[in-house]
Amino acid sequence: MTKKTTEREVFRTFLSSVSQDRADAEKLRKILLQRKDVKLLAREVSDDQKSQASLSKGLLSADLFVAVLSADALRSQWLLRELGAAWGDVKAILLIKTRPDVSIPVRLAGALNCEMKDAQKPENWNRILDAFKGTLKREYFDLVTRNP
């Protein structure tokens, strides 16, 4: 980046995955931690460490919800609950599929998605995040200009 990153240019990001996808999620976490325009709000934790309070705090303050989708993830009630909460709260959602044949839940078919092999290349994240910049600004504009 040529200019200093300000707080408004930072994507507050919630990364969600299941324990079976830990290795992939850890690679993504390391890539995202190196970026000045991303602040990770929640780190993957095991199912027994998760609490409704940590879900609410991290997810509600996020600009971007990133879910690692695999067959295991789609069987996880916890990940699906997080995904539903993000969708219900009108968060920007990025679905990262661990395999090309992982199906996306029907209601999220329009969400931006990519394959893990692409998401694990740091050079692709400029393009990925650029896809959300206009969306986040438009949603924010819509929220602050609505008539009461």
Cα–Cα distance measured from residue 12 to residue 115, given in angstroms and rounded to the nearest whole number: 21
Q: List the pLDDT tens digit at each of the 148 positions of the chain.
A: 434 444 447 889 999 999 999 999 999 999 999 999 999 885 545 455 555 555 667 788 888 999 999 999 999 988 888 888 888 887 888 999 999 989 887 667 667 889 999 999 999 998 888 887 766 544 444 443 343 3
What are the structure tokens assigned to 90, written together?
């009108």
Cα–Cα distance measured from residue 80 to residue 145, given in angstroms and rounded to the nearest whole number: 31
Cα–Cα distance measured from residue 83 to residue 11, given in angstroms and rounded to the nearest whole number: 18
| pLDDT in the model for residue 90 | 78
| pLDDT in the model for residue 109 | 66
| pLDDT in the model for residue 98 | 94
| pLDDT in the model for residue 55 | 61
Domains parsed from the chain with CATH numbers = 7-145 (3.40.50.450)
Amino acid type, 76:
S
Identify the helix (H) or strand (E) that includes residue 51.
Answer: none
Cα–Cα distance measured from residue 2 to residue 50, given in angstroms and rounded to the nearest whole number: 38
Do residues 68 and 43 lie in contact, with contact meaning Cβ atoms separated by under 8 Å? no
| pLDDT in the model for residue 112 | 84
What are the structure tokens assigned to 101, written together?
């044949």
Prediction pTM value: 0.78
